[in-house]
Structure 1
């Protein structure tokens, strides 16, 4: 039986296709709206995000509201079958507010209050700012919640940053009181006896500062958690003001590329749909596969936050104006990169921006409509052609990505890894390491979820869980993974795991702490290698996975003792030559693998390729994919949609796996078991689903 998620909005059964639209910048020329509507329909666009930075246009003076221009836009949209995500304008304040209420301006870590300007230069704790946003949001909801053109609420824009003002200091102390209860508990968790940093009164605690405290790692970690919680609380405040008026339309806020500043997992229960902004730096080299894999990882991350289709809220139809090099998309790349998002679970393709601004910082950022003002441009043709493709692929909307593999990537672990001093302050490369593991599955065409250790996901749904560098490992996580393996799952983790608990306190009794029994090893020491040093990983003869050849190791080499585990590979060089570099431990009904060193390609593809075969993990295509080519599947339980994508920079021939395929856009049967993909080529294929064992 076919099984799908419902469309994001019942008003739009197919894909949402559109852009950020800023009619507030063009009120001086009414003809622009008429022309924009004509061009939107011509490009196959149906959904715009409106009002994201429009506060000054909506409330030019305190208490004086000018909604008439927005009335006209939305009414014209409704007349023409177009729709809008209506934004709350809190991403940037009008100047009158900063002038009359200086407390709304942020204070930096240096304790200096900012001047007016930029975006998100406001304090989420400020009662004045909360009052003003609440009033604006209620007025917007009261006026537009029932408007036929409005499909949902776009809350603010790209939340980020932090404030260190007195109001936030008090809020931080209250957050700590709720978490720890007493100063004794806080002092123990933060290990403040080090350097005599013990606190004897709550007002002594301040946020980390460049000219103050910054060396207590648990303090730094809790501040980052607080910043996330404060931001989520502000987002909830914005939403609650909309809900108070009775609007039940879906809410979203646009997130950023595995943004380090906020733990996005904390937003997942607050939002109805996840959206994010993707800006790949295509064509940095002839082969785009590294960039493609990184953005595939992000698509999977944002899909996994709620485990259902997400929104590509922003992407550029041509160039950006803020990256180091503003590179044009080469022919084919617009469709390829847009359908990449769809392949990984997006039910929208939207852009920043619809019409280029005439002035200020983004006047040269790409847009569907260029300064020339007409449709006779290469970018407009690309967008129009994609609009037609999305129309023919409407059956994909609501389908699922069925993953048997998950990678654990916790934000607080990431923060803690990067804050820890040693073993390689020259660069421990956490993000790159996670990507090396992920890219192996991307090249194999194996779907992956990106999850958190504390998510509500049932680990038992996966055949394989990968946890690279899980430095911060709670006892609860260790127990959860132990049960997963004991019940028959397979775990793969690496060096620098199980080192500290949630308070960044080292686990006692030997590393990898809560994972030691499951992995069957003791990690006694870790050797930091200089950048030019190399070691080797040598598979042992007749190893259980059938690994062959030697692989390069760099940067970190852990010295482990076997405590029930078996060595699959050993080190080649140095005083620890012959000691285990890769181990496996049979535990309960499952197995746990441990990689003791940072390996490099082609190790990961070989290792995970062997594991995928052993565990019967399905691939999008059960055939070998050429370098730079990947495949991803979405399914409704009866029909699979297979997105075959070529990022190699050269024409590629893909051999299919013998099953019967149709072109999903044309419904034509494929006459051959070979698929020729041009440079930047993508094909969407349909097949009847074959149930996996």
Structure 2
């Protein structure tokens, strides 16, 4: 539970009273009470207001706001406000201004506009956190700290260049090791002095989304992620100095590409994130990202820090959330581990670029709107649920590996196809389990695998030190391991492991790959199943032929067995799917990217063979299922994303719906856009 002071699913969101006159504040409080709002995030972008000059601090408005909310039953998630530096700082200390990828220094404006290696930015942001921590350390209304906001964006200034060299010294120690790690004899890049190393941007190594030296660009991404993390840690330390009892977080952004969130999560007391799917975003993708946020801290519940109650303002087509969808998507977050339901924003702004971003209180300014009625109804339900859900956990037996450094390396690869999208390939495997109603954990490469029976690592292009051994131990102990094409190619420096792909995974998988064929978007091949598959009865019943494309590895068997083969081209008859007995377990390899129906059928059989059972029976893909447990009780979430009611079979009888009090037998009917929370 995040705080014993608010022992329920928190309900609220970002609140910006400083953008309004005082006569609006009392109306806000009245409507918060109507909606069941009990937590407000304050001070997210108020640095300029709180510090109008270098040596001047004024928190009077913040004092009044926190007090007013607390006296009316609304707690505070207090942000440090350091996501955008004040104009006076940019004028007096231009080192805070970032330099973009093209080498141009920015002027004041926008947000996330601070150089993470600026001495001025670090000094003033740390001091601000210190001031806030000291001022509000004893306030009973402050429950959690929110550092900055949605960290992101890289800088390519001279200070970052110098700091990059220092970072490299710490990582590699000598220039000889750097030259080896980056393979700098290619194109005459050998470095003889630290000052010869420059940032990889459009003026040096990177053009048109590609890089000439993957090793240099990969390390710069690591460095920039670490630099921003150091800024967060400075504020975190100041806040913890004053309030060791309060959790500290910052809001992440799902599969945001620029930061290594597994590394960040180690410095966060609780993970929080901002969920903004489009109308056409697959709901299995949103579920996957919720699971990823939960997986950042080994299954610990997380915070849904932001979502919109109605519509966004920054997408190409900002559709409204249809009736019932806000509630459905809110419970989807809870089903996958969220202990909060929070919005951006509580009252809609009247100016600048977010004035058309939805809010609990719309521009109409009263409670007689569809959006407010839906928000108030959800607030009432969350009050009704009380403490039944918070701090419950998910216990999955199947895991999918997601790794940001591997993703960077895949995306910067100089081949074999521009169509390879790491996140999409991971989602294909997640969606196949989702459609089978199999609970999944998203894990990093540091995770202990002993709790799982099935581990899937799609496109495991980069194999980090010790990772191959870890997978071998998991598999030899009886686990089932699955990986795919374009795996085991490079080490942590993006240098190819010679001797035949898949490099360090070759012994585990019992194969070697000679070539990789990249297909054009309109080209397809086929996967032809071999029947019977050598006694592997758990894949019996699959179709004879499936479609495949994108990439096709041309592989040879070294102990593995071919379960399927290619049906076309000059490599017709070569293995397309293989399995290798390894100790007491199995290692599977999909040498190409199959159609969804293959993945659904194949993974269903692998799960069945490992005793991993679906959460429901005979349910369509539109019905999402997730299971949280607490104090020996099961909380089965059923969410119908479809436009028609659906039926689902339960694995046991005796469930009661926490939202309606209705007791069910072994079958339930879930209405369109409906939600059930069944407790046994």
Q: Which interval holds the TM-score relative to the shorter structure?
A: over 0.9
Aligned to 1:296: 287
2:213 alignment partner in structure 1:
216
Q: Does residue 233 of structure 1 match 2:225?
A: no
- In the superposition, the TM-score normalised over structure 1's length comes to 0.95
- What is the rounded CA distance, in whole Å, between the counterparts of 2:620 and 2:660 in structure 1? 25
- Residues 1:495 and 2:485 are matched in the alignment: yes
1:580 and 1:462 map into 2 onto residues whose CA distance is: 28
CA apart distance, 1:34: 1.0
**For each residue in 1:329-379, what CA deviation from the matched residue of structure 2 results, as whole angstroms up to 9, or x when unmatched?**
111111110000000000000000000111111011000001111111111
Equivalent of residue 596 in structure 1, options 586, 591, 598: 591
CA distance in 2, matches of 1:568, 1:680: 40
* Aligned-partner Cα distance in 2 for 1:8–1:246: 15
Map of 1:668 onto structure 2:
662
Paired residue for 1:619, among 605, 614, 619?
614
Report the equivalent of 1:398. 391
**Partner residue of 2:99?**
107
Q: Note the alpha carbon deviations across 1:600-650, whole angstroms, 9 max, x for none.
A: 1101110111011110013222x1221321211101152111111112333
- 1:676 is displaced (CA, Å) by 2.4
Give distance in 2, aligned partners of 1:391 and 1:663.
15
Matching of residue 351 in structure 1 with residue 343 in structure 2: yes
1:320 to 309, 312, 325: 312
1:522 aligned to which of 512, 515, 521:
512
Which whole-Å deviations, capped at 9, do the CAs of 1:424-458 have from their partners, x for residues lacking one? 13x112211111100011111111111111x2x21
**Is the partner of 1:346 in helix, strand or coil?**
coil
Distance in 2 between residues matched to 1:109 and 1:531, nearest whole Å: 30
2:149 maps to 157
Output the CA distance in 1 between the equivalents of 2:602 and 2:545. Answer: 12
Q: Specify the alignment match of 1:169 in structure 2.
A: 161
- Contact kept, 8 Å, 2:103 with 2:203, in 1: the verdict is no
1:565 aligns with 2:590: no
TM-superposed deviation, 1:583: 0.7
Matched length? 668
Larger displacement relative to structure 2 (57-66 or 123-132): 57-66
- The structural deviation recorded for 1:72 is 0.9
- Partner in structure 1 of residue 443 of structure 2: 451
- Offset of residue 596 of structure 1: 0.5
TM-score using structure 2 length:
0.97
Q: 1:287 is matched with which residue?
A: none
- Taking the TM superposition and a 5 Å limit, the aligned residue runs for 1:185-264 are 185-214=177-206, 215-264=212-261
CA shift digits 1:547-567 (9 cap, x unpaired): 333110111111111111111
Asked if structure 2 preserves the Cα contact closer than 8 Å seen for 1:570 and 1:582, the reply is: yes
Cα deviation digits, residues 228-276 of structure 1 (max 9, x gap): 1111111001111223335531100000021001011111121100000
1:686 aligns with 2:676: no
Cα distance between partner residues in 2 of 1:117 and 1:231: 19
1:248 and 1:117 mapped to 2: Cα distance?
Answer: 36
Residues 444 and 624 in structure 1, CA contact (< 8 A), matched pair in contact too: no
Q: Indicate the residue corresponding to 1:635 in structure 2.
A: 629
Bigger drift between 399-408 and 650-659 goes to: 650-659
Which stretch has the larger CA shift, 218-227 or 90-99? 90-99
Kindly indicate whether residue 87 of structure 2 is the aligned counterpart of residue 95 of structure 1. Answer: yes
Equivalent-residue separation in structure 2 for 1:100 and 1:332 (angstroms): 50
Q: Report Cα offsets for 1:114-134 as digits up to 9, x if no partner.
A: 010011100111111111112
What SS does the aligned partner of 1:460 have? coil
Q: Which moved more, 1:390-399 or 1:148-157?
A: 390-399
Measured in 1, the distance between the counterparts of 2:100 and 2:415 equals 28
Q: Is the CA contact 1:443–1:625 (under 8 Å) kept in the aligned structure 2?
A: no
| Alpha-carbon displacement from aligned partner over 1:110-152 (angstroms, at most 9, x marks no partner) | 2221010011100111111111112211111111121111001
Query: Pick from 411, 416, 432: which aligns with 1:418?
Result: 411
Of 511, 522, 533, 1:532 maps to 522
In the alignment, which residue of structure 2 is the partner of 1:435? 427
Q: What are structure 1's unaligned runs of at least 5 residues?
A: 1-6, 285-289, 688-693
Gaps of 5+ in 2: 207-211
Q: 1:572 to 1:368 in 2, by over 3 A?
A: same
- Which runs of at least 4 in structure 1 moved beyond 6 Å after TM superposition? none
> After alignment, is 579-588 or 655-664 more displaced?
655-664
Contact 1:569–1:583, Cα closer than 8 Å, also in 2: yes
1:370-427 deviation per Cα after TM superposition (whole angstroms, max 9, x unaligned): 11111111111111111122222230111001111111111011010111111113x1
CA distance in 2, matches of 1:340, 1:76: 32
Is the partner of 1:345 in helix, strand or coil? coil
Q: Residue 605 of structure 1: which of 600, 606, 629 is its match?
A: 600
| Secondary structure at 1:294 match in 2 | helix
- Residue 461 (1) aligns with residue 454 (2): no
- Post-superposition CA distance 1:445-486 (Å, at most 9, x none): 111111111x2x211110000000000012411111011101
Equivalent position SS for 2:450: helix
State how far apart, in whole Å, the 2-side matches of 1:392 and 1:495 are: 49
Alignment correspondent of 1:552: 547
Aligned partner of 2:466 among 473, 476, 479: 476
Counterparts of 2:133 and 2:422, CA distance in 1: 43
> Could you tell me which residue of structure 2 aligns to residue 691 of structure 1?
none
Secondary structure (helix, strand or coil) at the match of 1:364 reads coil
C-alpha displacement of 1:651: 2.8
Contact residue 151 and residue 249 of structure 1 kept, 8 A: yes
Residue 41 of structure 1 aligns to a residue in which SS? Answer: helix
Residues 441 and 608, structure 1, Cα contact 8 Å, conserved in 2? yes
The equivalent residue for 2:209 is none
| Structure 1 stretch displaced more, 651-660 or 562-571 | 651-660
Equivalence for 2:268: 271
Point out the more displaced range, 241-250 or 327-336.
241-250
Report whether the alignment pairs 1:659 with 2:656.
no
| SS state at 1:640 partner | strand
- State the match for 2:127 in structure 1: 135
The 3-state SS of whatever aligns with 1:584 is strand
Quote the Cα distance in structure 2 between the aligned partners of 1:81 and 1:264.
Answer: 34
Distance in 2, matches of 1:489 and 1:656, equals 27
Secondary structure of the structure 1 residue equivalent to 2:88: helix
CA contact (8 A) 2:304 2:342 kept: yes
Structure-1 separation of matches of 2:65 and 2:464:
51
Give the Cα separation in 2 of the matches to 1:247 and 1:631: 37
Name the SS of the counterpart of 2:466 in structure 1: helix
Aligned position for 1:580: 575
Does the CA contact (< 8 Å) of 1:141 and 1:247 recur in 2?
Answer: no
